Every structure is written in structure tokens, then in C-alpha cells.
Amino acid sequence: MKKLSMMDTAFLLAESRETPMHVGGIHLFTLPPDADEQEFLHRLRDELRSGDDLQSPFGDSLKMGRLGLAGPLYWQKDESVDLEYHIRHSALPKPGRYRELFALVSRLHGTLLDRNRPLWEMHLIEGLQNRQFATYSKFHHAAVDGARSMHLTQSMYSYDENARSQGSAFSVESQRRYREQLEKIHSEGMSDQELRNVAESLKQLFDSSIHLFSSLKRYVNGWRGKGGALALPWQNVPRSSINTHVDGARRFVAQSWSFQRIRAAGKAMDGTFNDAVLAMCAGGLRLYLQKHSELPEQSMKAMVPVSLREKGDIDSSNAVGAISADLATDIADPIKRFRKIQASMVAGKALFKGMKPKEAALMLQLIQAPGLLLMPLGLMSRLPPYNTIISNVPGPRKAMYWDGARLDGIYPASIVTEGIALNITLVSYDQNVDFGITACRRSMPQVQRLIEYMEHSLVELEQATGLVTPKAAVVRKPIKAKKKGASTKKITKKVTKKITKKVAKKTTKKVAKKTTNKVARKVSKKAAKKVVKS
């Protein structure tokens, strides 16, 4: 048996019918040439169900003592795993668009996992257009975090288009092969510089308390108003429609953008890829709330999870820290907004600088401690620590295949909690960045439009940095300007155009009337002449 850490247990304690605590998402595939869809998927399903000795968390269930969640919790091997329950086969209704796929995933993501069984499910989904199929998976966050889910993904698939599966991807044997593959890559690719880095990290084991003390000092100074650009949970977090009570119904939407395009926007501002992602999301949120007349006067804040997983660790369920980012939604200028976001991220990273994973986890628990009191009392929506969550999970940077089926995209679905009704998670895969947006259906109406506003925000940043000219920029659905802010020149032009149309219409009618009368007179004269002659 394996004991759950304090962080793992926290996800179980925080779970309710309104706030399921599982993560997962959609993997989108294109069938191999000439493959029959149903035959191909039936074979994959049977292969996945063939495993006997399952790796964690697929073969483990939760064990509690007499005190329940208040006492120690363990993962224990489940001797009667029903793989037909956990691995399911579904079909979309026609016409099988992404709309139908997202509707199905929205419903599946809103249901709780059964705690009497291993805490995971996988759905094979057929019926998509253009010879595509999908999988939707969900794992309890007590068992799997974003980095662990990427390890599971890479152990299931291959970079070789011609490679074929060797038994169930959920088996212990599959995990062993993946571990050997990682060790081989690591041993062959370790340079002298990496060896020096290892030596340096060992040296830091003896002066770790210094890092923890200095971080706590920066944290306290932040609450005293002396933290500079450092943003902290619960500090100056404005209320918005995102920060309300949530129910169990979910809305899931997804979109891909070019990795190079987002990175170029960050580089143009001497920032990172992550800075550009945050600026893109911040601009999108600003437009969304403006359209609903709900933009707070204060800047909104976002929790940005940071992986604390040590290199080669594929077993830990959770190894994450968190930075509080200032999204600068109170600033209209995209350049100034980017600079403020960038400064808050630099200050946030400095808070965890030099720490080992265990120290950073302890620091995170201290920062998040007020939530342990506010959540059971139902006060998180009144005193939210952040406005939203924006999480970046690094994924495979080359195309991957599953028995010859190309993996087209990885769209993550994450957690919505009481007081935080919106979660934006992204995975960098191959040449793209795949965004998955999860929201409370009731709290965030028309959340699909956030995708359109994020595209507009990215174009705005590209124009401001000179990466594209206004004429070259293409927005999926341009946002109409309000009439109130229109210039006199534009109004005059519009009115002149209307008057010209009316004049042209009247002139046409007059000409037509004259022509008709003239023809009628000629016909009458001819008829009169004929009568006289007769």
C-alpha cells in the first residue's frame, strides 16, 4: 500500500457533487489509411481491456480507516478491477461534429468517479467526421496531475507510425518498458553540463533552509505591501461573475493555436512563451467580461500551477506548486498589460527559487492554508484566492501515433471549484498549443466565445509589437465596435451612403415611370392611327 500525501488528500476532501476533482481531456486521432473505424476501435478496446497486472493508478483503489477522510488514506491493489466498466465504447450522434463531441465530454466531465473502484475512466468515441475518432479520459486529481498524465500519454503512444501496441497500455509491463526507454534516453543524452547540474543540486541539499526562509520573508513582505510586483492569493482579488457558487454541470470547449505564433509574440516583448499565453488569456477574459458588462475595476488574478516533479519521476501523483499572476485586465493597452503580467511572473518564480520539490510543496501548503478553512464554510466564492486558473502542461513536441492512427491533438479538461468557475489548461503538442477550457455551465454562459476573444487578443498583441500589420491580421470573428465610440467622420460617411442609396432608388423609380409613360403614349398613338384608317 502507498500512503497519500497531504496534497493528494486535499483533492479528496475538497470534492463534492458540485465540484468533481478529476482531470483528463480529449485525445483526437485520424484513422490509418484503409482502416475500418469500427473494427479498428473494437481491437483497441479489447487490447486495453486485456491487462491483468495494472500499473498505478489503474489497478489501485482507495483504502480508508474508521476515521474516513479524517484519518490516513492509502492506495491499495484492487483485486477485482472491472475493465469493461472503466474502458467504454461510445458513438456520437450525427453529424458527428466537434460540437457533438464537446457536448458529450461536457456531460461526462460533470459526473463523479466511483470511490469504490479505481478512480479513472476512459471512453473510446467513434462517429466523428473526416475519419477521426477520439478518446476521453478522466483521472482523480488525488492520483494524477498534469505531468503524470503526459507520462501516461507518452507510454501509450509511439513516435513511430509503424509501431504496434504490445498488450494493454495500462499494464505494469507497459510502465516498465516506458521507464527503460526514459533511462536509456537519459543515460545517452547526459552532457557534462547536466552532470554539473546534478552535483549542484546535491550541494543544495545542505542549505535548503536558507531558500525556505528567504521565500517566507518575501511572502510576508508581499502582505505588508512591500512585495513589488508579487501577487498573492486573496490579496486584492476582485469579485466577478467567474467567482460565484458553481453547480455540477460543465461546459467544455477547445481550440488549437500555432506554438511558433504564440512564442513569437512572447519573444517580441522579451518575454517567455508562458508570458504570451497569459497575455492572450488575459485579453480574452477582458473582452468576455466587457461584453457582459462585468469587467472589474481591479486587475484579475490567476493561479498558474508549476510542476515540481523531479526528472525521471513518473510515479508521484501530485508534484505541483503555484504562482499567482496579475492578469492586468484593468489595462487596455496590450503592451502595458504584457509588461505587468511579466513582472508578476518574475516575482512569483522568485518566491520558489532554489527550493527542492518538498520545500516548495510545504511553501505552497502554507500559502493555501486559508482555503482549508474557507472551503468547508462555503466562503470561497465570497473570498476567492484567484479569479481563474491558467495551467500550461508541456507535451510531446513530435507527432505521435497509436497503432498507426495519428494523434491530432491533446485537449485537456480540468477542475472547476467553488468560487473559481473557469479553468484554462493548455498542452504544447507537436507544432501546436491545444487549449481546453472548462467552465461551470450556469456561471459562464457563452464560454465558447472566449476562444474568439483570445484570438482577438493575440492579434492585438501581434499588431502592437509589429509582427503583423493591421491589414494582414485575420481575426476569426471580428468584434464590432460600439456605435457610441464611433467617430464623426465614420458617422458622416455612413449617413452619406444611406442618402446616396435613397436618391439612387428614387431616381430609378422616376426614370422607370417616365419610360413606361412614353411607351404607353406611343402605343396609344399607333392604335389611334389604325382606328382612323379603318
User: Which amino acids are annotated catalytic?
Assistant: 141
Residue carrying C-alpha cell 518575454:
271
Buried b vs exposed e over 169-202: b needs ≥16 C-beta within 10 Å?
bbbbebbeebeeebeeeeeeeeeeeeeeeeeeee
**Whether the Cβ atoms of residue 427 and residue 409 lie closer than 8 Å to each other:** no
Distance between CA 480 and CA 118 in Å, rounded?
A: 50
Cα dihedral sign, 493-496-497-498? positive
| Residue 135 bridge partners (DSSP) | 27, 124
Contacts with 383 (C-beta within 8 Å, 6 or more apart), sequence order: 234, 370, 374, 419
Of 342, 320, 338, 316, nearest in space to 329 by CA:
338
Of 122, 1, 131, 121, nearest in space to 60 by CA:
1
Strands 120-126 vs 87-91: parallel, antiparallel or unpaired? parallel
Q: What is the DSSP letter of 315?
A: S
Task: Name the phi and psi angles at 20, rounded to 5.
Answer: -60, 140
Residue carrying C-alpha cell 502542461:
393
Distance between CA 252 and CA 165 in Å, rounded?
A: 30
